[in-house]
Amino acid sequence: MAGSGYTDLREKLKSMMPYRDGHKGGGGGGSLPREPPEPPYDRKRRHQEDSGSEPSDYEEQKEEEEARKVKSGIRQLRLFSAEECAKIEARIEDVVSRAEKGLYKEHTVDRAPLRNKYFFGEGYTYGSQLQRRGPGQERLYPRGEVDAIPEWVHDLVIRKLVEHRVIPEGFVNSAVINDYQPGGCIVSHVDPIHIFERPIVSVSFFSDSALCFGCKFQFKPIRVSEPVLFLPVKRGSVTVLR
């Protein structure tokens, strides 16, 4: 997280709108909350269902252009070996164990069905925790309300990202672990642009997975449209989102 021209991002947020230092987030959550304008999603399927006809060449070209634009902002590289992954995964298991024992501060841990989230360095309110819903309402917790970034994250993860020039020295002041159970996912979102400096950097462990862009979610039961772009994510890979 960073804010240009400010030594503390909280000063930037205060200048944008009143900040409630005494705000306490509620439990739960689910998705990161920043909602962009509704993305184009699965137009081919919707067109076929609504009209029973094939999509036009124009529609297909537009979808392809959207996929190209999304892909142009993504960089992937394989940095972590199987041995390095195993070492880091053992540390993550320790984080989960410590959380279950109640050894972290209240706002370090956010639990949701099939997904637990662990904030380090900085944490912020989102989703059902917001007093006012909508884009730009996310707020950082007051300093000290989440635990510091563990040293092993600096030593085993951040240092390697710096060495390979993925990020500059000193760029990271927030590290978040998303722990997904089988069948778990996170709904479509944009990491809050008034809080996060770009790029957003993620490293995947434990298993292969995927990132999907341009999806539309429906719930009860959960369903999702075909994505504009499907991006395979391998264990030990780094994904840079600009």
Asked, for residue 100, whether it belongs to a domain, the answer is yes
- pLDDT for the residue 156: 98
- Contact between 35 and 134 (Cβ < 8 Å): yes
- Contact between 191 and 200 (Cβ < 8 Å): yes
- pLDDT for the residue 23: 34
One-letter amino acid of 23: H
Maximum Cα interatomic distance, the chain, rounded to a whole number of Å = 58
Model pTM score: 0.71
- pLDDT for the residue 124: 85
Asked, for residue 222, whether it belongs to a domain, the answer is yes
What's the Cα-to-Cα distance from 69 to each of 56, 64, 65, 176, 208, rounded to whole Å? 20, 9, 6, 27, 24
Asked, for residue 148, whether it belongs to a domain, the answer is yes
118 as an active site residue: the answer is no
Cα-atom radius of gyration of the chain, to the nearest Å? 19
CATH of the domain at 152: 2.60.120.590
- Contact between 8 and 142 (Cβ < 8 Å): no
Task: Tell me the backbone φ, ψ of residue 156, rounded to 5 degrees.
Answer: -95, -25
Give pLDDT tens digits along the chain (242 positions): 444 444 455 554 455 544 334 333 333 323 333 333 333 334 444 444 444 556 678 888 888 898 999 999 999 999 999 999 999 999 999 999 999 999 999 999 999 888 999 999 998 876 555 556 656 677 888 899 999 999 999 999 999 999 999 999 999 999 999 999 888 888 777 888 888 888 999 999 999 999 999 888 887 887 888 899 999 999 999 999 98
Asked, for residue 138, whether it belongs to a domain, the answer is yes
Contacts (Cβ under 8 Å, ≥6 apart) of 182 = 114
Catalytic residue among 41, 118, 124, 126: 124
Asked, for residue 105, whether it belongs to a domain, the answer is yes
- pLDDT for the residue 85: 98
Domain that holds residue 194: 72-241
- pLDDT for the residue 26: 33
Number of separate domains in the chain: 1
Asked, for residue 50, whether it belongs to a domain, the answer is no
CA 36/CA 60 separation, integer angstroms: 23
Asked, for residue 191, whether it belongs to a domain, the answer is yes
Asked, for residue 110, whether it belongs to a domain, the answer is yes
Three-state secondary-structure class, residue 124: strand
